[in-house]
Structure formats: C-alpha cells, structure tokens
Amino acid sequence: MDSIARVIATYDGQGVHRTGTAVDDASARWLDQEIKRIGVTPSLIPFSLDRIDVLTARATVAGISYEGLPRFDAPATGPDGIAARLGRLGGHAEIALVAAVAVALTVPPP
C-alpha cells in the first residue's frame, strides 16, 4: 500500500499534467522507469499534436474586464483580440456574452 501512495504522491508532485507539456513528457519518462523497475518492458510511442494554450480569455465592456472561458469550437483571435457587438445568446450579435455562476468544490480536511 505504501508503494501505491508513493506513486500517487510522486505523480501529483510533478506539476500540471496537461497533454503535450514538459510535465507530461517528464511524467511519461518517469512512468517508463517505474515500469522497468518492476521488471516489465514498456514502450514510449512519440506523436505530434497541435495544442491551444489560452493566455487570456476576457471581455472588456465600457472599460470593465470580465474574465471568461474560451469556447474551443471558435476560431482563435490575434493578439489584439476582436471588436464586435455583444448580445444575447441566440440573438443576432456577433458575440454572445453569457453569465455563469462559479462553483468551488472543496474537500473537507482529514
């Protein structure tokens, strides 16, 4: 049981495991070594992919900025963003701005 806890703690301590990142690559190499250590022959199969790294997702209206979440089914913008009319979702404006309530999930302390 201690070895399972060690593996989970080590994996968790490596950082954010997002596909295609340096942490992801280092994690794969670490797991490769862990598998070799128990006597199994692993194989790493490299592949390429295109990633989207969101730097900023915000709407600024009348000088007030609202942070948001991008829709990945929309085209990317250039560094200056876009300027267009805001309107209701399903309306005729170029941009729909939808309010959402953020919910924080917490785990009670042990």
CB 67 within 8 A of CB 38: no
Contacts of residue 69, Cβ cutoff 8 Å, sequence gap at least 6: 57
Least confident of 3-12, 21-30, 58-67, 68-77: 68-77
Closest CA to 27 of 9, 40, 14, 46: 14
Residue with more model confidence, 52 or 107: 52
Q: What is the pLDDT of residues 70-95, one digit of tens each?
A: 766 767 778 888 888 888 888 899 88
Q: Does residue 42 register a pLDDT over 80?
A: yes
Give me the mean pLDDT over the 24-31 stretch. Answer: 94
Give me the mean pLDDT over the 27-50 stretch. Answer: 92
With cut-offs at 50, 70 and 90, classify the pLDDT of residue 102. low
With cut-offs at 50, 70 and 90, classify the pLDDT of residue 108. low
The contacts found for 46-49 with CB under 8 angstroms, 24 or more apart, are: 49/19, 49/20
Write down the mean pLDDT value for the chain. Answer: 83
